[in-house]
Amino acid sequence: MGLNLQQVSRIAERALEEDIGGGDLTSTLLFSENMSGKAEIVVKQEGILAGLPVAEIIFKKLDEVVLWEAKQQEGEVVSSGQVVVGLRGNLRAILGGERVALNFLQRMSGIATLTRRFVKEAEGFPAKILDTRKTAPGLRILDKYAVRMGGGFNHRFGLYDGVLLKDNHLRAAGSIEQAVRRLRQRLPPTDRIEVEVCTLPEVEEALQAGTDILLLDNMSLSEIEKAVRLIHRRALVEVSGGVTLDNVRQIAATGVDYISIGALTHSVPALDFSLELTS
C-alpha cells in the first residue's frame, strides 16, 4: 500500500505555509526571482530511507519544473555520506523547501530505521511487528507508511476501521462478556473483535466470550507464555506495552501473532539529513 498523494499534498501545503508564510524573507532579499541552483540531499547516518515522495512534492509545490533525481530507493539501507537526491531548479524554491523536506525525511526515515531494528530482532518467528495510533497528529499516513518501509505492518489506521475493546470500553460496558455480546449483535459476522486483557482470568473471560483477537497488555514474559498456552490457537494473540529491542525476540519466541509498539512512532529519533548546494 503506497501513499495517498492527495493527502500528502495537503500535508505538504500546511507544512510549507507554517514555515514560509508570506515568503522566505532571507532568500527573497538575497537572490533574484529567476536565479537557479543545484543541490544534493545527503544522509548523515546509516539507516532506512523513507519519505522521498513527500520531499519531492514539497519542492515541486515551490518549483513545478524542478529536476528531482532520486539516487536511492525507498526502504533501502543508506550509509552516512550517501547522496540520496540531486536537485536542480529555482534557487529560492530549493532553499525555501529545504527545512520542510528534511523534516519529513528525518522523521520518516527514523521511523523506518527503528522499525527495521525490531523486525530484525524478531526474525525467524511468525510474529508481525505492528505500529499503533500513537502517531504525530496530522501525520498518521506518513508515520504508518514509514513503518511499512521499515518492514513492519499497520494496525488499524483509526477508530473507524477496527474494533478494539480497551479498558475504558470494558469498564463502561460492565464486563468483557457484555461488551462482546453487544458488539456481536451490531457487527457483520465477518468483522473481528479484539479485546485488551491484562490478566489470565481476563484472557479466559475473553475466550469464553468468543473474542477473535486478544491483546495482552503490559504482561510479563512469563504471563505471556502462560496466556499463549491457555489460548492454544483459539484466538489470535497480540502483545503490547513494555516492548523493547532487548525483549522483543523473547516475546516473539512465545508464539504470538502480533507485537505492537507505540515507540515506533511516538518517540522515534530522527535520522539526520542535510541539503547542500553544489556548483
**The CA-based dihedral angle spanning residues 116, 198, 158, 151, taken in that order and rounded to the nearest 10 degrees:** 10
Vertex 178: Cα angle to 177 and 183 (nearest 5) = 100
Query: Pick the catalytic residue: 56, 98, 143, 217?
Result: 217
- Residue 120 known to be catalytic: no
Query: Pick the catalytic residue: 60, 99, 156, 249?
Result: 99
- Residue 217 known to be catalytic: yes
How many residues are given for the chain?
Answer: 279
Cell of 171: 469498564
Query: Pick the catalytic residue: 196, 202, 205, 238?
Result: 196
**The CA-based dihedral angle spanning residues 168, 171, 173, 176, taken in that order and rounded to the nearest 10 degrees:** 100
Contact between residue 121 and residue 279 where contact means Cβ atoms under 8 Å apart: no
Query: Pick the catalytic residue: 166, 184, 192, 234?
Result: 166
- Residue 99 known to be catalytic: yes
Query: Pick the catalytic residue: 120, 134, 156, 226?
Result: 134
Please state the φ and ψ torsions of residue 15, each to the nearest 5 degrees.
Answer: -65, -40
Contacts of 62 (CB under 8 A, 6+ apart): 16, 90, 92, 93, 96, 97
- Residue 246 known to be catalytic: no
- Residue 166 known to be catalytic: yes
Contacts of 271 (CB under 8 A, 6+ apart): 43, 44, 45, 47, 48, 105, 106, 109, 110, 113
Please list the active-site residues.
99, 134, 166, 196, 217
